[in-house]
């Protein structure tokens, strides 16, 4: 009984404190003359690795912009409000509701997984608040004709392969390809895009299979795939599964002329760490690499590594570039209302570390930047750009040596 | 005393009904709408898991089927997903019929495992079936965006759920269900057709969980199989909600949902990265010290408060 009483007291105390804190947030604690930008990212949960990298990059870009005097507009300071969506879509909805209705943000950004980005985009459009998506790459997000939803640094998933197709047409000229992909929105969209591109070019898809998110044993699938004898494997995976697939291919001594990942896991530093030497010569499409020639890319990579003691990949670059786009749009906006910011975003024409960004309407997309993609290849533990040839940092290796001949 | 109680209840009802007219803040209303949705699922689960003692780890199956019934109407036929509020619960009942027949042959942990598998089967089915749009899910733009509307729909659905559950529990079926929970063999020997009565608990439970699913689809406007058929975020969460509020109590699940949603949200917005950890610790503490949930321990809580008063009075005497 005594225990219960103490416990009750503590519970009441916690709730009281939490309520007080909550009221403080909603009240006048924040200065009224700030331009608030709400950013929803997965800071906890299974996607926290990506969310934290993006939050760090936002903050880094913000500090640089502040030093350059670009975060104060007519005496009002840009203020970033981060909200954690825990990688869950209903939490993303709550976070969006809070930012728009409670904090009264001028605009929104963030969005890592496609599911969360879908929900944030839908809520933002319904409440006519401009939203600039960072990573969520489901095709649908910018295909709804939603005028308040913008996507600059992320390509629609089916458009990740622009540079890859150039390379395939000029160098590889495959006849038989295999497609494997994680059974998620991103995996399905990517695989669908690649499959259609194959059909257009008359390339045989000899193996086409989805696998469950979080799977660890790929040997049965890989053995079946080997029987179909593909020249090229296109795989869409996150980090752990990507590493498992290439490791198990090595164990099975399953050789192809080229193995290409569809972004996401195959470019992460964690992929190299987990896959070890099986990562050698694995290629991937990507939206960004530190060695691209866009001004500032190299500085970003070095500064990030210095500051956070970790290597960023394209996800971090997306957040970093997005912060610059936001600051640019807010500085140009005639008036800081939802339509004013929307207009300024629409007129964006800026060069970032991810290349030039403009929001255009094309092929059924609305407010979608035309993505620039690259093909990269792991060589001696480094991610080298091999295509387009004009920006390459190393020559491509094709066909890749067989596992036993290395 | 009884009159006072009734008066209090009426007062509470009036407050709840006029609340959105007083606080117009959409964010707070959003939180309450989420509470309503979870309270409906919790109350439905409670009927089967709390009163009849059939612990289900697979309520996400009914929730998801309800949500998809609403979503697919819009996706394939362009029919307003609000018709899903009608179709969703019916679809969930249709799904639950064969499940009841099969799974109620099992008892205790075997039943729990069968239901757990069921939720996962539905998740995999909806990822891979051709007509569900797979893992890409269904994204719609809701026609109605005012929070007040969803608030009243949610409130009405919750009152209906609680009302029907209350009616069932206080009818003959309710006593049968409790006797099944307490001792199934004794109940059988008394001539209660246990499998049949378990189904009588399952059908309304599935019905209202499907209703909550359809409401969820309409409100959140995006679903995919990994969200609505999720084991931890739906099936286990509903058990947490009921445990927190009070198993086999009329208002326990509602209280549990309110605590779960409000505390989760407050922690998320104030504690930064530590929010999940603190929340988890708190849930552990509640389960440790209030094993029957908040409503289930209400008499004990009253006792604690009353003793405090006595203690204070005693202090004055001395």
Query: Which neighbouring-strand residues pair with A35?
Result: A78
Q: Which residues in chain A have Cβ-Cβ distances shorter than 8 Å to B146? A: none
- Environment class of residue B232 by beta-carbon count within 10 Å: exposed (0-12), middle (13-18) or buried (19+)? exposed
Structural domain that includes position B112? 26-230
Of B124, B269, B304, the CB nearest to A4: B304
Question: Across the 318 residues of chain B, what is the mean pLDDT of every consecutive 10-residue run?
Answer: 80 88 87 95 94 92 95 89 92 93 86 91 90 86 86 95 95 92 91 91 95 94 90 90 90 92 88 82 84 81 67 41
Q: Which residues in chain A have Cβ-Cβ distances shorter than 8 Å to B304? A: 1, 4-5, 8
Verify whether the Cβ–Cβ distance B226 to A93 is below 8 Å: no
The answer to whether position B289 is within a domain reads: no
**pLDDT in the model for residue A47:** 84
Of A84, A89, A119, the CB nearest to B275: A84
**pLDDT in the model for residue A294:** 85
Q: Is A4 a residue whose pLDDT tops 60? A: no
- In angstroms, the separation between the Cα of residue A103 and the nearest Cα of chain B is 10
Measured distance CA(A318)–CA(B134) in Å, rounded: 27
Measured distance CA(B245)–CA(B46) in Å, rounded: 10
Verify whether the Cβ–Cβ distance A11 to B286 is below 8 Å: yes
The answer to whether position B255 is within a domain reads: no
On whether the CB atoms of residues A204 and A175 are closer than 8 A, the answer is yes
- In angstroms, the separation between the Cα of residue B129 and the nearest Cα of chain A is 12
- Residue of A68, A79, A70 lying closest to A103 (CA atoms): A79
Handedness of CA A41, A45, A47, A49 (dihedral sign): positive
On whether the CB atoms of residues B92 and B65 are closer than 8 A, the answer is yes
Verify whether the Cβ–Cβ distance A45 to B276 is below 8 Å: yes
- Residue of A262, A235, A239 lying closest to A249 (CA atoms): A235
Considering only alpha carbons, which residue of chain B is nearest residue A92? B220
Give every CB contact of residue A225 below 8 A, 6+ residues apart in sequence. Answer: A178, A180, A207, A209, A233, A254
Determine which of B64, B81, B139 to mutate to test the interface with A (most A C-beta atoms within 10 Å): B139
Query: Angle A338-346/A314-332 helices, nearest 10 degrees?
Result: 120
Q: What is the pLDDT of residues A306-323, one digit of tens each?
A: 999 988 888 999 999 999
Q: Is A378 a residue whose pLDDT tops 50? A: yes
**pLDDT in the model for residue A24:** 40
**pLDDT in the model for residue A23:** 42
Q: Residue A182: what are its φ and ψ, rounded to 5°?
A: -70, 140
Q: Residue B31: what are its φ and ψ, rounded to 5°?
A: -60, -45
Measured distance CA(A307)–CA(A55) in Å, rounded: 13
Q: What is the pLDDT of residues A158-192, one digit of tens each?
A: 888 888 999 998 988 899 999 999 988 888 888 98
- In angstroms, the separation between the Cα of residue B91 and the nearest Cα of chain A is 23
Verify whether the Cβ–Cβ distance A122 to B141 is below 8 Å: yes
Query: Which neighbouring-strand residues pair with A39?
Result: A82, A109
Measured distance CA(A240)–CA(B16) in Å, rounded: 48
CB atoms within 10 A of CB A248: 18
Number of structural domains (chain B) is 1
- In angstroms, the separation between the Cα of residue A50 and the nearest Cα of chain B is 14
The answer to whether position B21 is within a domain reads: no
* pTM, rounded to two decimals: 0.85
Verify whether the Cβ–Cβ distance B221 to A3 is below 8 Å: no
Determine which of A2, A3, A5 to mutate to test the interface with B (most B C-beta atoms within 10 Å): A5
Q: In order of start, what are the domains of chain A with their CATH numbers?
A: 31-155+295-368 (3.40.50.2300), 159-286+373-405 (3.40.50.2300)
**pLDDT in the model for residue B300:** 76
**pLDDT in the model for residue B145:** 80
Q: Which residues in chain B have Cβ-Cβ distances shorter than 8 Å to A98? A: 27, 269
- Answer with the residue of higher pLDDT: A239 or A333: A333
Determine which of A2, A56, A84 to mutate to test the interface with B (most B C-beta atoms within 10 Å): A84
The DSSP code sequence of B174-214 is: HHHHHHHHH-HHHHHHTT--HHHHHHHHHHHHHHHHHHHHH
Verify whether the Cβ–Cβ distance A91 to B304 is below 8 Å: no
The answer to whether position B167 is within a domain reads: yes
Measured distance CA(B86)–CA(B98) in Å, rounded: 21
The DSSP code sequence of A311-377 is: ---HHHHHHHHHHHHHHHHHHH-SSSSHHHHHHHHHT--EEETTEEE--EEETTEEEEPPP--EEEE
Handedness of CA A27, A33, A39, A44 (dihedral sign): negative
The answer to whether position B116 is within a domain reads: yes
The answer to whether position B220 is within a domain reads: yes
The arithmetic mean of pLDDT across residues A277-294, rounded, is: 88
CB atoms within 10 A of CB B189: 9
The answer to whether position B206 is within a domain reads: yes
For residue A44, give Cα distances in angstroms to A123, A190, B274: 22, 26, 8
Mean pLDDT of chain A: 87
Q: How confident is the model at residue A268 (pLDDT cuts 50, 70, 90)?
A: confident
Verify whether the Cβ–Cβ distance B304 to A5 is below 8 Å: yes
**pLDDT in the model for residue A15:** 57
- In angstroms, the separation between the Cα of residue A26 and the nearest Cα of chain B is 11
The answer to whether position B20 is within a domain reads: no
Considering only alpha carbons, which residue of chain B is nearest residue A125? B141
Give every CB contact of residue A337 below 8 A, 6+ residues apart in sequence. Answer: none
**pLDDT in the model for residue A11:** 60
**pLDDT in the model for residue B318:** 33
**pLDDT in the model for residue A262:** 87
The arithmetic mean of pLDDT across residues A56-61, rounded, is: 95
């Amino acid at each position: 009984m005594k225990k219960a009483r103490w416990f009750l007291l503590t519970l009441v105390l916690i709730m009281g404190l939490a309520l007080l804190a909550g009221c403080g947030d909603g009240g006048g604690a924040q200065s009224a003359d700030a331009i608030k930008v709400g950013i929803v990212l997965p800071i906890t949960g299974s996607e926290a690795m990506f969310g934290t990298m993006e939050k760090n990059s936002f903050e880094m870009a913000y500090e640089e912009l502040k030093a350059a005097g670009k975060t104060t507009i007519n005496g009002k300071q840009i203020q970033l409000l981060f909200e954690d969506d825990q990688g869950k879509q209903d939490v993303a909805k709550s976070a969006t509701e809070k930012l728009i209705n409670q904090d009264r943000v001028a605009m929104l950004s963030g969005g890592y997984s496609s599911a969360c980005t879908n929900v944030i985009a839908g809520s933002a459009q319904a409440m006519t608040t401009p939203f600039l998506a960072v990573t969520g790459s489901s095709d649908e997000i910018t295909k709804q004709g939603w005028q308040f939803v913008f996507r600059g640094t992320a390509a629609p998933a089916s458009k990740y392969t622009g540079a890859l197709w150039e390379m395939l047409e000029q160098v590889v000229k495959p006849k038989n390809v295999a497609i494997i992909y994680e059974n998620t929105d991103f995996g399905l969209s990517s695989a669908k895009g690649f499959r259609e591109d194959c059909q257009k070019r008359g390339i045989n898809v000899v193996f086409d299979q989805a696998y469950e998110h979080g799977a660890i044993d790929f040997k049965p699938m890989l053995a079946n795939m080997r029987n179909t004898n593909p020249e090229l494997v296109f795989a869409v995976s996150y980090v752990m599964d990507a590493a498992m697939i290439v490791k198990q291919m090595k164990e099975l001594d399953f050789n192809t002329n080229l193995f290409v990942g569809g972004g996401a896991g195959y470019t992460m530093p964690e992929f190299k760490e987990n896959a070890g030497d099986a990562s050698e010569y694995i290629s991937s499409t990507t939206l960004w690499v530190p060695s691209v020639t866009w001004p500032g890319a190299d500085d970003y990579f070095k500064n990030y590594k210095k500051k956070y003691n970790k290597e960023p990949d394209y996800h971090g670059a997306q957040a970093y570039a997005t912060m610059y786009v936001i600051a640019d749009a807010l500085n140009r906006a005639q008036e800081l209302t939802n339509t004013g910011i929307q207009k300024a975003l629409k007129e964006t024409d800026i060069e970032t570390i991810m290349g030039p960004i403009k929001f255009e309407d094309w092929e059924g997309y609305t407010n979608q930047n035309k993505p620039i993609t690259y093909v990269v290849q792991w060589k001696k533990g480094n991610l080298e750009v091999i295509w387009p040839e004009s920006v390459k940092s190393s020559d491509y290796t094709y066909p890749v040596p067989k596992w036993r001949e290395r | 005393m009884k009159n006072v109680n009734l008066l209090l209840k009426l007062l509470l009802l009036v407050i709840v009904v006029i609340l959105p007219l007083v606080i117009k803040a959409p964010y707070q209303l959003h939180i309450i709408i989420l509470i309503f949705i979870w309270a409906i699922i919790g109350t439905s689960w409670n009927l089967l898991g709390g009163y009849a003692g059939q612990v289900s780890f697979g309520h996400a199956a009914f929730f998801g089927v309800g949500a998809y019934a609403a979503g697919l109407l819009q996706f394939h036929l362009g029919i307003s997903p609000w018709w899903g509020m009608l179709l969703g619960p019916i679809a969930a009942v249709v799904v639950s019929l064969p499940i009841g027949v099969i799974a109620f042959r099992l008892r205790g942990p075997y039943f729990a495992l069968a239901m757990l598998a069921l939720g996962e089967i539905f998740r995999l089915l909806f990822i891979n079936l051709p007509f569900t749009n797979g893992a890409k899910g269904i994204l719609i733009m809701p026609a109605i965006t005012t929070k007040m509307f969803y608030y009243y729909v949610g409130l009405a659905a919750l009152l209906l759920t609680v009302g029907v559950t209350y009616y069932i529990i206080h009818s003959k079926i309710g006593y049968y269900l409790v006797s099944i929970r307490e001792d199934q063999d004794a109940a059988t020997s008394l001539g209660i057709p246990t499998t049949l009565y378990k189904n009588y608990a399952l059908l309304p439970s599935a019905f209202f969980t499907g209703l909550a699913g359809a409401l969820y689809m309409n409100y959140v406007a995006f679903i995919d199989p990994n969200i609505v058929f999720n084991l931890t975020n739906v099936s286990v969460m509903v058990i947490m909600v009921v445990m927190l509020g009070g198993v086999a109590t009329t208002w326990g699940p509602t209280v549990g949902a309110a605590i779960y949603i409000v505390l989760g949200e407050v922690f998320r917005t104030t504690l930064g990265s530590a929010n999940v950890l603190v929340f988890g610790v708190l849930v552990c503490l509640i389960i440790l010290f209030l094993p029957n949930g908040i409503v289930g321990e209400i008499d004990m809580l009253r006792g604690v408060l009353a003793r405090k008063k006595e203690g204070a009075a005693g202090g004055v005497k001395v």
